[in-house]
Amino acid sequence: MKTEFAYWVPNISGGLAITNWPMKTDWTYQYNKKLAQSAEQVGFKYGLAQARFIGSYNANIQLEALSVANALAANTDSLNLIGAIHPGLWHPAAIANFVATSEHISNGRFHLNIVSGWLKDEFTKFGEPWLEHDERYARSEEFIDVLRGLWTEKEFSYNGRFYRIDKAPSEPKPTTQPTLFIGGGSDRALRMAGKSADVIFINGGSLEKIKGIVEKVREYAQLYGRKPPKVGVNGFVIARDTEQEAKQELENIISNASKDSVEAFKQSVRQAGKSSPEGYGMWSDSDFNDLIQYNDGFKTGLIGTQEQVVERIRQLDAIGVDIILAGFLHYSEDLARFGNDIISAVKQIEPIKKEAEIIV
């Protein structure tokens, strides 16, 4: 199979689950440097550094995403690094130069995740205006327009609602066009993916839900006359020797959840999908247990034995998922094990050819 694999870089404190259950994961740069070097050795294609500026979901310490991704790119050989940014906190002209510079440093392995934003405090506490849901995505579309214009034209001009550029140069140009990722699950996010993105990352979900999102993104891409973007899905991986061990680990995580932090996170994400005109999108149907893994990673079903996880990835591939974005409880152990046991198995296995084989 041709499924690609990415991992969440744990560049914030608190790991990838809002729990007090012990985890073997650290946020420091030296830890992440070793982790990235391990990740490329065991078959991961991407590492995604997350952008946080205000503590949320126990993320009280945040290493800045662009800095981390750039440093990791300079200290790896084949891993593609993705730095995350928020339009509204960054100007696209400055980011265009930063990404082009990082692309040169990494020999084409630096990419960008454009996060339209859901954590209101990250804007208002810094004195920036908080836009309504669909306006945030409209701004992100313009941000992407400016990036690509500055990367491809000698002098670029743009007259948008959010950004105005007047015959601006930007040198050096990237040697290859960086891949532009976005995230979201609302109709406005899926439309933006079809119109502007190379890849869309979506929260975890059932096969039925994910399949519906894939189909909608493809419809929007066709509407805009574009090749459909790749789809990456978030999944929290608990692969153990037995299914019982994996389910017990999940229960340990849930029963030891940081309740106050989960409840605070629940309130914060009301600014995401639930604030869209249709009231649907990221976290709009997430309950307390779902939110313990803060991108609905439990829902994707990558919990069980190695064989069960591999089969689930086959099913995800069959409904149109191109990239698995993995998170782990014990990065120190689980990331390498996932690569050695599961990525290697996926590369050798045949894809599902009949839809009847998919249990939705």
Q: How confident is the model over 160-215, as pLDDT tens digits?
A: 999 999 999 999 999 999 999 999 999 999 999 999 999 999 999 999 999 999 99
Say whether pLDDT at 272 is over 80. Answer: no
Residue 282 reports pLDDT greater than 70 = no
CA angle 140, 146, 148 (to 5 degrees): 105
Say if residue 103's pLDDT is above 60.
yes
Strands 164-168 and 156-159: antiparallel
pLDDT, tens only, 323-332: 999 999 999 9
Query: SS3 string of 197-264?
Result: CCEEEECCCCHHHHHHHHHHHHHHHHHCCCCCCEEEEEEEEEECCCHHHHHHHHHHHHHCECHHHHHH
In this predicted structure, what is the pLDDT of residue 268?
79
- Residue 360's pLDDT band, with cuts at 50, 70 and 90, is low
Contacts of residue 250, defined as CB under 8 A and 6 or more positions apart, other chains included, come to: 238, 298, 303
- pLDDT 10s digits, 287-318: 888 888 888 999 999 999 999 999 999 999 99
Can you give the pTM of this predicted structure? 0.93
Which of 9, 21, 10 minimizes the C-alpha distance to 47? 9
Domain ranges across the chain = 4-357
Question: Does residue 15 come out as left (phi exceeding 0), alpha (psi in the -120 to 50 range) or beta?
Answer: left
* pLDDT of the residue at 275: 65
Tokens describing residue 156: 């670029």
What is the fold of 4-357? TIM Barrel (3.20.20)
DSSP 259-308: HHHHHHHHHHGGGTGGGSTTS-STTTT--HHHHHSTT-GGGG--EE-HHH
Q: Model confidence at 217, in pLDDT bands (50, 70, 90)?
A: very high
Tokens representing 75 are 């200290």
pLDDT of 359 strictly over 90: no
Q: Is the pLDDT of residue 344 over 80?
A: yes
Strand, coil or helix: 7: strand
Report the C-alpha gap between 306 and 313 in whole angstroms: 11
